Structure 1
Amino acid sequence: MNERQGDEQDRFRDPLVSLYELAAEDIYVVCPRCGHRAVNSPQPNDSRWVASWPRRLTCPGCAYSASWSPRGSEVSSWNGPVDPFFHLPLWLRAQCCGGHTLWAFNRTHLDILSGYIGARLRERGPAPGGMTLVARLPNWLKAANNRDELLRVISRLSASID
């Protein structure tokens, strides 16, 4: 492998996605009935705003199902280890790095985190307002001294959805 290829493998470029965009895919949550992995699936409609799409929650383990539709006064939380629609714990979450919680909605989210954390060179994009997922990562997740532990945790979380 030449030096340039090595540089490209150690480089991460911000894909310029937000949590809202990641929610356009399935979100893995803990089933409220049996505690196994359930899937919160978007039901796209005419709206371009993912947060306003109806959702369907299904558990392949116990056949639990539920529906969610946006309500005018409902407030959702988009910054922690809880699903913003059904308010259930995310399946992809783990304690690490001195008591912090690493969490992700889905495989795409884990892949972005893994790429960012594993890279020696991290490039942010020209996104307006700093609203990308990468621009909003907490300092403990960016710290080089947490890299090995974070990558181990991400690998373990990734294995839980294979």
Structure 2
Amino acid sequence: MINKSIPTEPSTPQELRTIHDFTDEFLVVCPRCGHKAVVKPSTDGLPPRLTCLNCGSVRQWTSAQKGVLFSKQSGTWPEGQYALGDAADPYFHLPLWLQTSCCGHTLWAFNQRHLQYLRDFVAAKDRHTPPRETKDPLNSLLTSRLPKWMQLARNRDAVLHAIVVLETKHNNGNSQASTAAGR
């Protein structure tokens, strides 16, 4: 049964987004205290930075390798390598704060806007994607990169429930919310 707070028939997600549209902030697990910390990319010439409002931990990232590594196993990412593709931030490779078990997989989001985008996509009954610009590379849109298990209608309720778990965790700030949404 769907929670009444979950929209059951939202409009079709019309925004053409890539994963890079959500890389302006990463909510991570603080390596010092285990609470929510924020990783911000470089701004105004400053290097990317990790900040925990709970314990005050601050770290700056230093690039050791050029380019972007696309990989699914964050445990294999070399230090100082910007890497995308797993439930970890691309700089410090720390576990994302917004992640939970769902349908035998891990559902994760970089931040609240990313989570909202996933919610809108999963809850939509009509997932027709507007035409892409010819200059855009094939398969670059986030909707085309989402795993099949997340797109299946039979998993919709479970995925939406997991998203509610993550929204609750986000809204509770630094509390140690459960990360098991099950299924």
Q: Would the TM-score normalized by the shorter structure come out above 0.5?
A: yes
Give distance in 1, aligned partners of 2:11 and 2:34.
38
Instruction: State the TM-score, normalized to the length of structure 1.
Output: 0.82
Bigger helix fraction: 1
Structure 2: give runs of 5+ residues left out of the alignment: 1-8, 67-79, 172-183
Aligned to 2:124: 119
Matched, 1:88 2:94: yes
Give distance in 1, aligned partners of 2:12 and 2:84.
24
Structure 1: give runs of 5+ residues left out of the alignment: 1-8, 47-52
User: AA paired with 2:139?
Assistant: G
Equivalent positions of 1:8-27 (< 5 A) are: 9-24=9-24, 26-27=25-26
Aligned to 1:40: 39
Give distance in 1, aligned partners of 2:50 and 2:81.
19
Aligned to 2:49: 56
Matched, 1:147 2:140: no
Give distance in 1, aligned partners of 2:165 and 2:140.
28
Give distance in 1, aligned partners of 2:16 and 2:128.
11
On the 8 A contact 1:33/1:62 being kept in 2, the answer is yes
- CA 75–42 in structure 1, closer or farther in 2 if over 3 Å, else same: closer
User: AA paired with 1:10?
Assistant: P
% identity of equivalent residues: 38
Aligned to 1:5: none
Give distance in 2, aligned partners of 1:106 and 1:151.
16
User: AA paired with 1:42?
Assistant: P
User: AA paired with 1:62?
Assistant: C
Give distance in 1, aligned partners of 2:142 and 2:18.
5
1:79 aligned to which of 63, 78, 85: 85
The CA deviation at 1:135 is: 1.4
User: AA paired with 1:82?
Assistant: A
On the 8 A contact 2:81/2:91 being kept in 1, the answer is no
On the 8 A contact 2:26/2:40 being kept in 1, the answer is yes
Q: CA RMSD in A?
A: 1.8
Q: Write out per-residue CA displacement over residues 113-154 of structure 1, whole angstroms, 9 at most, x where no aligned residue.
A: 000000110121333312111110110000011111111110
Instruction: State the TM-score, normalized to the length of structure 2.
Output: 0.73
The CA deviation at 1:54 is: 2.8
Q: Structure 1 runs of 4+ off > 6 angstroms?
A: none
Give distance in 1, aligned partners of 2:90 and 2:12.
27
On the 8 A contact 2:63/2:81 being kept in 1, the answer is no
Aligned to 1:28: 27
User: AA paired with 1:67?
Assistant: Q
The CA deviation at 1:14 is: 4.1
